[in-house]
């Protein structure tokens, strides 16, 4: 067992004894879940999946489908069209709240049921089968394997889903959804009934973490901007009326589902997922929340923490026949540009006069436009034997 997997296992055993909460009761089929199931998985940039516990146990994805179907709607229609149907504001209300804007009837955001139904209704397709196929295809690409609907849970949801039907008819009455209400609602029930394991969820989260590219399959699943938009909305609205406190304490965009799953995303770092069916009063899995909090603490990183690397691009220095060369690598932001110039100033003061100093910026990765401007500008102030190679 590798050390990361050992760490996961260690955390899992710490959390295992917690036995508060109860499986979701409002969908009868969910109430039959084994409450002792417990699993945990992490996926990093190279796509290695590390998982412990009941990591092969499958459960229905439920609300964790919402960010991915949002991604599908964004890919299909673009941000502005989607925002025409659903807002991006946290509502401070529970998942099944009737939070529609007074005049437009837009649901507050795509992470509450009303908004998720509106988003799902944007998936192209004439009938439930075609739409579900589109959704299943995309979610399968996120997971890196084919996902299937649990027909028993689907039937149970459909039989008892009166509140969601109510929301869909309300949306229809406001013109927020087009086409038949039944198609919209049944598609939504089927999307919620897709079966995933904790390993799938961690890969799906990692795909969002790495800008829409699945780190296991290497496939680009959605565009980088779509991934960013989905993560933004998960940050402000993903944990319902606990979203603000979650961002404060854990600092990672996340999404939970009533079957007991939870995934969280550390952008450019990792995707993480946990599973345990017993829920707290917010509808979040008690032990999955505890596992992800532990992961956030041990693997970093809280979105709002200062990150030195962001401010300090890689600088390597070496001498060659043409004099000293400083090579810049990685990402160059505003702060980095300021710091580089400070370093160069010091360096140039220490060099014998006239010895040329070259700054090689050709291997810089992502560079913010303002940062490069700043960098170029600063060179005007430096001795003229310090020059920038772009």
**Based on CB atoms, which residue is closest to its own copies, 52 or 147?**
52
Q: Which residues contact 295 (CB under 8 A, 6 or more apart)?
A: 11, 40, 42, 264, 272, 274
What's the CA gap between 384 and 348, in Å, rounded? 10
Binding span for its own copies by CB under 8 A among 151-159, 256-264, 336-344, 349-357: 336-344
* Footprint (CB under 8 A) of its own copies, residues 85-124: 87-93, 98-99, 108-109
Residue 224 binds to its own copies (criterion: CB under 8 A): yes
Shortest distance in whole angstroms from residue 45 CB to its own copies: 4
**Based on CB atoms, which residue is closest to its own copies, 141 or 170?**
170
**Based on CB atoms, which residue is closest to its own copies, 362 or 366?**
366
List Cα–Cα distances, 82 to 79, 99, 226, in angstroms.
5, 17, 12
- Select the residue interacting with its own copies from 140, 325, 368, 385 (CB under 8 A): 368
Alpha helices, H only, the chain: 3-15, 28-31, 65-77, 79-83, 113-120, 128-143, 151-160, 162-173, 181-192, 198-209, 224-237, 243-249, 286-299, 308-311, 334-350, 369-381
* Structural contact between residues 67 and 109, judged by C-beta atoms closer than 8 angstroms: no
What's the CA gap between 260 and 160, in Å, rounded? 19
**Based on CB atoms, which residue is closest to its own copies, 311 or 347?**
311
- Select the residue interacting with its own copies from 165, 190, 255, 278 (CB under 8 A): 165
* Structural contact between residues 40 and 198, judged by C-beta atoms closer than 8 angstroms: yes
Binding-site size, its own copies (CB under 8 A)? 103
**Based on CB atoms, which residue is closest to its own copies, 151 or 245?**
245
Binding span for its own copies by CB under 8 A among 3-11, 53-61, 116-124, 284-292: 3-11
| CA nearest to 252, candidates 197, 291, 224, 199 | 291
- Select the residue interacting with its own copies from 60, 119, 243, 259 (CB under 8 A): 243
**Based on CB atoms, which residue is closest to its own copies, 2 or 384?**
2
Residue 349 binds to its own copies (criterion: CB under 8 A): no
């Amino acid at each position: 067992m590798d050390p990361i997997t050992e760490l996961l296992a260690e955390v899992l055993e710490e959390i295992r004894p917690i036995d508060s909460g109860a499986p979701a009761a409002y969908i009868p089929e969910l109430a039959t879940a084994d409450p002792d199931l417990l699993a945990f998985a992490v996926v990093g940039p190279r796509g290695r999946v590390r998982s412990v516990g009941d990591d092969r146990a499958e459960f229905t994805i439920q609300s964790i489908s919402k960010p991915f179907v949002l991604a599908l709607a964004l890919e299909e229609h673009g941000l502005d069209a989607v925002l025409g149907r659903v807002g991006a504001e946290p509502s401070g209300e529970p998942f099944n709240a009737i939070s529609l804007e007074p005049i437009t009837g837009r649901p507050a955001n795509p992470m509450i049921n009303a908004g998720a139904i509106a988003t799902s209704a944007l998936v192209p397709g004439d009938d439930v089968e075609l739409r579900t196929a589109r959704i299943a295809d995309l979610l399968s690409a996120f997971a890196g394997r084919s996902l299937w609907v649990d027909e028993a849970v689907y039937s149970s949801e459909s039989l008892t889903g009166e509140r969601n039907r109510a929301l869909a008819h309300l949306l229809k009455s406001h013109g927020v959804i087009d086409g038949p209400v039944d198609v919209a609602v049944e598609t939504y029930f089927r999307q919620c009934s897709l079966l995933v394991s904790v390993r799938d969820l961690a890969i799906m989260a990692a795909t969002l973490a790495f800008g829409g590219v699945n780190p296991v399959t290497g496939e680009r699943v959605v565009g980088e901007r779509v991934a960013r938009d989905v993560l933004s909305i998960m940050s402000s609205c993903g944990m319902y009326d606990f979203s603000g406190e979650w961002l404060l304490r854990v600092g990672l965009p996340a999404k939970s589902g009533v079957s007991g799953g939870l995934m969280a995303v550390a952008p450019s770092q990792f995707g993480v997922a946990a599973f345990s069916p017993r829920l707290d009063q917010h509808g979040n899995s008690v032990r999955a929340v505890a596992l992800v909090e532990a992961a956030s603490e041990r693997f970093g990183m809280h979105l709002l923490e200062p990150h030195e690397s962001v401010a300090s691009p890689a600088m390597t220095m070496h001498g060659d026949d043409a004099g000293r060369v400083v090579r810049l690598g990685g990402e160059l932001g505003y702060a980095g540009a300021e710091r580089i110039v400070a370093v160069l100033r010091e360096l140039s003061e220490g060099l014998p006069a006239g010895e040329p100093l070259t700054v090689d910026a050709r291997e810089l990765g992502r560079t913010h436009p303002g940062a490069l401007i700043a960098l170029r500008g600063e060179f005007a102030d430096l001795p003229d034997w310090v020059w920038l190679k772009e």
